[in-house]
A and B are shown apart, each in its own frame.
Chain A
Amino acid sequence: MPTAQIEKKPRKTSGSPYPLWFFLPAGVIYGVLFLVPTFASLYFSLTRWNLFNSTFIGFENFLSFVQEPFLIKGLINTVIFAVSTALLKTIIGLALGILLTSNIRMRGLLRTIAFFPILVSTIGIGITFAVMMHPTRGIINVSLELIGIDGPGWLTDPTLALYSVAFVEVWRGVGLASVIFIAGLVSIPRDYYEAARIDGATKWQQFKRITLPLVQPATATVMILSFVYGLRSFELIWTMTKGGPGFSSDVIASVIYKQYQAGFYGLSTAGNVILFILIAVMVMPLVAYFNRREVDL
C-alpha cells in the first residue's frame, strides 16, 4: 500500500464545517420579501398612500380604526372569531382526541376522516358551505324543515353570519387539533392511570388530575396555533360572506383587502399593523402563561 496519500501542506483552518453562509439564501428571500415590507408597513401605516405618492398623516389611520363604526366592528369581530374558534377547536379537539385514543374500533379510519378537511382548499369548503347554508334552498335549512324547525338565514342574518363562518372554521380545523391532542395523549404513560385506579380515582378524577395537566403542551399548541390562525383568518370569511351582510362579519383581514381594493393603501397597511399588534398583545401572554405552567410541571 502506498503510504499517506495526503501530502498537502497543512493550512490554516478554513472555518467551521457549518458555514454561516448557509443562512444566506433563505435569509435574503425572507429579509427582502418579509422583513422589509414589515418594517416599511410601520411607516406607510402613518401615511395617506396610493402607490404613487404618500403623505404623512400621523396616527389618523389608526384613529379611524377606533372611530369608524365599520372598522371597530372589524376589530371586535376578529377577536370574537379568533377566541371562539380557538376555544371550540381546543375543547372539541380534546374530546375527539380522548374518544379516538380510547378503546374504540376503526380508530385509524376515524382519525383520517376528521383530519381530511384541513387539506381541502379553504375556498372550496367556503363555497360548499355557503351553498349548504342557503336560507331557503340550502340543505341545512331544508333538513331542519323536515323536523319542523324554521332555520335562520345562516349567512344572511347579520347577527349570525360571523358565527356561521366560525362554525365552518371549527369544522375545518378540529381534525388537526384532535390529531395534535392524540399525539399528546398517547405520550402519557399508561402507568399513571393504573396507579390512579389502584388509588381509587374515578374516571372524572383521572381526567382532571392526570389527563388535563399532562396533555398541557398539546393544549398550548392547539390554543396558540388556532388563535393565531383565527386572528389572521381571511379566506373562509371572504368566500362565504365577503364580510357581509353590510360589514357585520368583517374582520381585520377582510378590511385590509377591501381598503386595498378601494385604493386606501395607508389605511389597509394600518390594518396590517393593528393585526400584528393584536397578535403580539394577545398571543404573547398566552405563550408566556403556557411556558410558566410547563415549568411548574
Chain B
Amino acid sequence: MSGLELKKVCKSYGAVEVIKDLSLQIESGEFVVFVGPSGCGKSTLLRMIAGLEDCSGGTVEIGGEDVTDAEPSDRGIAMVFQSYALYPHMSVRDNIGFGLSLAKTPKAEMNARVEEAAKILQLTDYLDRKPKALSGGQRQRVAIGRAIVRNPKVFLFDEPLSNLDAALRAKMRLELTELHANLNVTMVYVTHDQVEAMTMADKIVVLNKGVIEQVGKPMDLYNNPATAFVAGFIGSPQMNLLEGAAARKLGAEIYGIRPEHIDISRESGLWRSTVRQIERLGNDAILYLDVEDVGSLTVTTDGQTDVVIGDMLFATPQPQNEHRFPTIAR
C-alpha cells in the first residue's frame, strides 16, 4: 500500500503537447478523481501512470519507486477499463485469474485468490460463465475483480461507469466507495462527470488542456474554486459567470455566482429580469432569466414556486457566496 507521485511529467505527440509539466502527489489510500472535459488529458495521464503511454519527460513514482520506464505489469497497478476489456473467450474465473496464471502462481493459491475476489464482489455464482452471459453491472464487477486479485498498490479506473445506465451507475458509485473503504488502497479514477467526482473523491484533480487547474477536497472546490474554469466545471447547474461590463461593475474581470446562491423577489433586487424558461425537477426548479445588460442567468429555487414564464422578477446574489476571478483565458 503506497502513494503515487508524478514529477514534471509531460506528454507530446509530435508538436502537440497533451500533458504539460505536470506534478502531483497522491497519498497512500487516497481516492483521487481526475476530472475535466474531454480532451483535457485526464485519460492520457492515467495511461501514463499505468505505463500504457510513455512519458515524454518527468518521472512517475509508485510507492516511492521510480517506475517511469517499467512495464505496466511491473508497476504494481491494476486498471479497470471503460469497456471493461474482459477476455471474451475466457470464463469469469479465467478472466480474473489470467494475470496470476501468467505469473505462474500455483493452482491452489490462484483458486483461493480468485474465489476470495469473487466473494468480495458477489460473483461466486457466475465464475464459470463467459462475459457474454453477464449483465453490465456484473461485467463491471468482473473487471474490478481482475484488478483486486493482483493486489495492486494503486487501482486505476478509466471512466468505468460511463457504459452503465443512470440507476446502475448510482449503485456502482456506492459499491466502489465501499470497496475503497474496505480495501483501503490508493485509487485513481478518471471521469468527465463532476457528480462522480464530487460523490466519490477524497481529492479531486481538475484538469484542463493538459495542466492542473486545481487540486482539493470536493467541497473546497465547490466553495473556493481557484479559477473560473473550475468554478464552471464543478457544481450543477453550472455557476453563472459574467464577463465584460456587467462583471466590472461588480469589481471583477469575471464574476461568478452559483444558481443556488441567488435570491429572487417580486419587489426589489439587484437585477431586473424576465423569466424565459422554467425547468421543474420536483424538489427544485431551475429558472432561466433574461437580465438587461447582463444576459442570461440561471437560478435554482424552490420546486413549488408559482413563477411562470414571462414573469418579471428581481434577482440578488448572496454577497457571502460571490466569486471573483481575474480572467478566464489561460
Contact = CB atoms under 8 A, between A and B. Distances in A.
User: Do A and B share a direct contact in the complex (Cβ within 8 angstroms)?
Assistant: yes
Interface of A: 1-6, 8, 10-14
Interface of B: 1, 51, 54, 63, 65-71, 73-76, 103, 113, 116, 150-153
Give the 8 A-B residue pairs with the shortest CB-CB distance, closest first. Answer: A10-B70, A10-B67, A12-B69, A4-B76, A13-B69, A6-B76, A8-B74, A1-B151
Contact of B74 (A1, A2, A11): A11
B54 A13 contact: yes
A2 B151 CA distance: 7
B54 A10 contact: no
B69 A6 contact: no
A8 B76 CA distance: 10
Contact of A4 (B66, B70, B103, B153): B153
Contacts, number: 39
B38 to A, nearest CB: 26
Contacts of A12: 69
B66 to A, nearest CB: 7
A222 to B, nearest CB: 34
Contacts of A6: 73-76
A215 B153 CA distance: 56
B69 A4 contact: no
Contacts of B63: 4
B146 to A, nearest CB: 15
Contacts of B151: 1-5
Nearest to A10: B70
Contacts of A5: 103, 150-151
Contacts of B68: 10
Contact of A14 (B54, B71, B76): B71
A93 B155 CA distance: 57
Nearest to A5: B151
A12 B1 CA distance: 24
Contacts of B74: 6, 8, 10-11
Nearest to A12: B69
B70 A11 contact: yes
Given A1-B151, A3-B153, A5-B103, A10 B69 contact: yes
